[in-house]
Each structure stands twice: as C-alpha cells, then as structure tokens.
Amino acid sequence: MNVVIIKYNAGNIFSVDYALRRLGVNAEITGDIEKIQKADKVIFPGVGEAETTMKYLKEHSLDKVIKGLRQPTLGICIGMQLMCQSSEEAANGKVECLGIFNEEVKRFIPNAQINKVPHMGWNTIHDLKSTLFEGLPDNPYFYYVHSYYATIGANTVATTDYMHPYSAALQKDNFYAVQFHPEKSGSMGEIILKNFLNLC
C-alpha cells in the first residue's frame, strides 16, 4: 500500500509517521504533487496556524491538489480545520480554507464554567457515524490540543463537548478528518488509523 503524508509548513507530521510504522506501514512524507496524486491513501496532518498555512498551500499549489484527490484522504487537527470553509484563525477576520467540508472553524471563547484555552488533554467522542469508528467502544477517549473548533453541520460524523458541542470528526465522499490526534491516542487511535488504511 502506498501511503503519503503531505509535507508542508506544519509541525507534528513525524508523529503520524511513527504511529503508522508501529502498524507496519512505511509512509512517504512528501510535498511532491505527483506522488500525492498517485498514493493509495493520503494523510494531511499537522499543528500550525491557519492563515499562514493556507498561504503556503496556495503558493505550492497544494490547495488544488488536496481538493482534487479521489483516494481516501484523512485530515488531522489543523488538516481538518483547513479542509473546512473558513477559519477565524486570521489576523483580520477570517481566512478562506479549502472548502471541502461546509463547516466553519471558530475560536473557543472562555466562559464562566470553562476558561481554559486551548482545549488540551483527553476527551470523549460520541454520535459516531462513520466506518472510521468501527470497533470502538462507547464514548472512547482521544487526545486533543487546539484553540479553534469546527462547527457542527451536515458533514459532522462525531462530536465532542468542550464549552459546547463541536465536530470531533467530519466526512464527505473520500475525505475524512478528525480534530483529535489519533497518533497520540494509544489503542483507540490505532483503531482509527487501521480503519482508515482499510478503506477502499
């Protein structure tokens, strides 16, 4: 199986590679357009800032490449957020993102009950509606680190509650995405990655 991890100006890419190696999969980390397009599976992970990252993707034509993929593609953390319509993580208002999913990305606003931002640590997901979650127990825990979240909408296939409900995962056609970090979520994360790798 030819698995590609998209290389761009984001952090935490190599932890996904390590997680795949533990599953016996040697992925290629690359920003080469032809290699990305020819891969059997594509993973778009990372930790970063939306506005700067979208600028990088456009400068390297990766925005068009990602939107045009037809094989199973998995966005993780900032990868998921960049696959949404827009993000509030911008210097002036919002930045237009890839628009694969209809949902918007908004900033967590501290309230009287919860004032800790970013949302960091373990939290459960529920209302699971995707083959990505086959074999998971009820209300499994996953690891999160993020200050922005995707709203709940037509593409939501799992939710998490922090301050309020938001999209823990999105799916549309061949595109899958999760806000949490499966590569840092132990056995539950391994199930997610295995399910993705087994997609047709």
Instruction: Parse the chain into domains and list their residue ranges.
Output: 3-197
Tell me what pLDDT residue 10 has.
Answer: 77
183 is catalytic: yes
Give the CATH number of domain 3-197; options: 3.40.640.10, 3.50.50.60, 3.40.50.880, 2.30.30.100: 3.40.50.880
Residues of the chain with pLDDT under 50: none
- Which one of the listed residues 51, 89, 103, 183 is annotated catalytic? 183
Spatial CA neighbour of 98 closest among 49, 50, 26, 134: 50
Amino acid at the residue 165: P
- Which one of the listed residues 51, 77, 89, 103 is annotated catalytic? 77
DSSP string, 93-120: S-EE---SSS-EEEE----SS----SEE
Tell me what pLDDT residue 149 has.
Answer: 98
Tell me what pLDDT residue 11 has.
Answer: 72
Any long-range contacts for 88-96 (C-beta under 8 Å, 24+ apart)?
Answer: 88/148, 89/49, 89/50, 89/51, 89/147, 89/148, 90/50, 90/51, 91/51, 95/50, 95/51, 95/54, 96/54
Measured from the Cβ of residue 94, the count of other Cβ atoms closer than 10 Å reads 16
- Which one of the listed residues 51, 84, 97, 181 is annotated catalytic? 181
CB-based contact 143:180 (threshold 8 Å): yes
- Please tell me whether the overall predicted TM-score, pTM, comes out greater than 0.75 for this model: yes
* pLDDT, tens only, 124-163: 999 999 999 999 999 999 999 999 999 999 999 999 999 9
Tell me what pLDDT residue 112 has.
Answer: 75
- Label each residue of 24-79 as H, E or C: CCCCEEECCHHHHHHCCEEEECCECCHHHHHHHHHHCCHHHHHHCCCCCEEEECHH
Rounded distance, CA 91 to CA 122, Å? 29
